[in-house]
A and B are shown apart, each in its own frame.
Chain A
Amino acid sequence: DAGVIQSPRHEVTEMGQEVTLRCKPISGHDYLFWYRQTMMRGLELLIYFNNNVPIDDSGMPEDRFSAKMPNASFSTLKIQPSEPRDSAVYFCASRYGTKETQYFGPGTRLLVL
């Protein structure tokens, strides 16, 4: 079975540009999580969805960040406009129901110049 798929794997962009990160969860999983990882702040939860509905977005840093899940097999995290401090690795993870295991995707390494 394919795991969580993220694209792109690497993104280099200039400050002010729009960045869109994509995630395809494991088929059948009803929870989807977006995380950001930096050396300074560690692994932080940005937002999570249950059955395509955003449940908790308290970790979204500011209005420049938005996330959507239009269907059970696809989610996006958008940053507009991007800033150098957004440089990080962004992980998507999915989980099924009450199962405890979250499966992480390979991550998108974002560098904003």
Chain B
Amino acid sequence: QKEVEQNSGPLSVPEGAIASLNCTYSDRGSQSFFWYRQYSGKSPELIMFIYSNGDKEDGRFTAQLNKASQYVSLLIRDSQPSDSATYLCAVKPGGYNKLIFGAGTRLAVHP
């Protein structure tokens, strides 16, 4: 079992819709959870991170965390074609200063 699992996609949504990206992790001791965006041929960039159960909102992005279910998600409201990218979920295991990345979900927003 991979430590961080994501559906590879592609996830295709129409412009203006809500895109929902999901991630599960295996280490129950994980403390911090991250969403990175990576455009084709570019490096990953941090969108947001979350520590606590519940929702965290930042503009059009909302991260949701459920530690009991070992599940973290990213919602993108009012999706734009410029949101088309690969979204990487990353987890910081408890007691470590490193990140474990999922394989990423490719999102395609079509006009």
Q: B34: which of A42, A100, A107 is its contact (CB, 8 Å)? A: A100
A101-B45 Cα distance, complex, nearest whole Å: 9
- Which B residues are in CB contact (< 8 Å) with A107? 43
Nearest residue (CB) in B for A50 is: B97
Q: How many residue-residue contacts, CB under 8 A, span A and B?
A: 39
Main secondary structure of the interface of B (DSSP, over half): loop
* Total contacting residues, chain A, CB less than 8 A: 18
Write out the residue numbers on chain B whose beta carbons fall within 8 Å of the beta carbon of A106: 42-43
Closest B residue, CB atoms, query A92: B43
Chain B CB within 8 A of A102 CB: yes
Contacts of A45 in B (CB 8 A): 98-101
* Assembly CA distance A91 to B99 (angstroms): 14
Residues of A within 8 A of B (CB): 31, 33, 42-45, 48, 50, 55-56, 91, 100-102, 104-107
